[in-house]
């Protein structure tokens, strides 16, 4: 596990960073393979675990902690697998917070948002407040409104993921990213035009991009190998960071 400050630093140095989502079905071999291939952050998708019994979840989260960890319990309303109660979801966040390096919760999860952020503050862990639109890319002013709302809610990082259906959608995400470069915005495009966004948005200043491990969990993700290779070719900053970007802190 990294320290909270080192996780924040990891995402604010200006070097593109790559996250890969994992579940309780991820083997130790796959995790170590990803770390060696250029993984920066292991996103632990607890909402996709086979069981959400707290003790079992904590055991699996600890097992996956060989890299900086981001715990996500994505709601079904925003494309995730969580269909349980708000109380149980809050409890899982509280259980894993001492073990993980950061958490991700949707702005739309208003019933528990303030409590989850308060628990993260008590634990000293950074929070990504996210929004996922699988139907469209909203106008830039709407996305700016989300970023402002996420900040007001207490986000350390604001994440926007939208369906990119045409070049204008990518232009909107690019404008948002450029406008917030360096202040902790994470921008992602999904769908057929999503793969390009996974490369050029981090180059423009998105704090984190997401790639697929052995299994693609979200549309628009490139493989980890392809993501790392493209960033190394196209981002001088990423290429110059070399192996340092792959080395988790003790």
CB 72 within 8 A of CB 93: no
Question: Residue 242: which pLDDT band, with cuts at 50, 70 and 90?
Answer: confident
Residue 131: inside a domain, yes or no?
yes
Residue with more model confidence, 241 or 234 = 234
Residue 218: inside a domain, yes or no?
yes
Residue 169: inside a domain, yes or no?
yes
Per-residue pLDDT tens digits for 165-192:
999 999 999 999 999 999 999 999 999 9
Per-residue pLDDT tens digits for 7-48:
989 999 999 999 999 999 999 999 999 999 999 999 999 999
Per-residue pLDDT tens digits for 100-118:
999 999 999 999 999 999 9
Q: 72 pLDDT exceeds 50? A: yes
Question: Residue 217: which pLDDT band, with cuts at 50, 70 and 90?
Answer: low
Residue 203: inside a domain, yes or no?
yes
Q: Order of strands across the sheet with 127-133? A: 185-190, 157-163, 127-133, 102-106, 69-72, 41-45, 18-22, 209-210
Which candidate in 125, 132, 180, 246 is catalytic?
132
Question: For residue 13, what are the domain limits?
Answer: 4-243
Residue 248: inside a domain, yes or no?
no
Respond yes or no: is residue 246 known to be catalytic. no
CB 70 within 8 A of CB 44: yes
CATH number at residue 79: 3.20.20.70
Tokens of residue 182, six digits: 């360096």
Residue 119: inside a domain, yes or no?
yes
Helix/strand/coil (H, E, C) string of the chain? CCCHHHHHHHCCCCCCCEEEEECCCCCHHHHHHHHHHCCCEEEEEHHHCCCCCHHHHHHHHHHCCCCCEEEECCEHHHCCCECCCHHHHHHHHHHHCCCCCEEEEECCCHHHHHHHHHHHHHHCCCEEEEEEECCCCCCHHHHHHHHHHHHHHCCCEEEEEEECCCHHHHHHHHHHHHHCCCCCEEEEEECCCHHHHHHHHHHHCCCCEECECCCCCCCCCCEHHHHHHHHHHHCHHHHHHHHHHHCCCC
Residue 179: inside a domain, yes or no?
yes
Q: 110's torsion region: left (phi>0), alpha (psi -120 to 50) or beta? A: alpha
Respond yes or no: is residue 125 known to be catalytic. no
Q: How many domains does the chain have?
A: 1
How long, in residues, is the chain?
Answer: 250
Residue 250, pLDDT score: 38
Q: What is the mean pLDDT of residues 59-77?
A: 95
For the whole prediction, is pTM greater than 0.85?
A: yes
Tokens of residue 82, six digits: 């969580």
Residue 249: inside a domain, yes or no?
no
């Amino acid at each position: 596990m990294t320290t909270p400050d080192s996780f924040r630093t990891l995402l604010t140095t200006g070097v593109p960073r790559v996250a890969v989502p994992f579940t309780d079905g991820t083997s130790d071999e796959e995790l170590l393979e990803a770390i060696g291939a250029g993984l920066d952050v292991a996103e632990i998708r607890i909402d996709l675990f086979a069981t959400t019994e707290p003790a079992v979840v904590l055991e699996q989260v600890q097992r996956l902690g060989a890299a900086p960890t981001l715990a996500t319990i994505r709601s079904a309303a925003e494309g995730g697998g969580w269909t349980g109660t708000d109380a149980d979801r809050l409890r899982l966040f509280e259980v894993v917070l001492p073990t993980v390096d950061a958490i991700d919760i949707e702005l739309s999860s208003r019933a528990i948002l303030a409590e989850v952020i308060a628990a993260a503050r008590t634990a000293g862990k950074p929070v990504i407040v996210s929004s996922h639109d699988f139907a469209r890319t909203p106008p830039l002013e709407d996305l700016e409104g989300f970023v402002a709302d996420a900040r007001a809610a207490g986000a350390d990082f604001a994440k926007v993921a939208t369906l990119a259906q045409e070049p204008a959608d990518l232009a909107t995400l690019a404008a948002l990213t450029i406008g917030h470069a360096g202040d902790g915005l994470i921008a992602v495009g999904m769908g057929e035009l999503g793969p390009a966004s996974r490369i050029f948005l981090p180059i423009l200043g998105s704090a984190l991009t997401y790639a697929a491990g052995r299994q693609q969990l979200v549309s628009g993700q490139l493989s980890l190998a392809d993501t790392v290779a493209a960033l190394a070719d196209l981002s001088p900053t990423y290429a110059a960071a070399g192996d340092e970007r792959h080395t988790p802190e003790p």
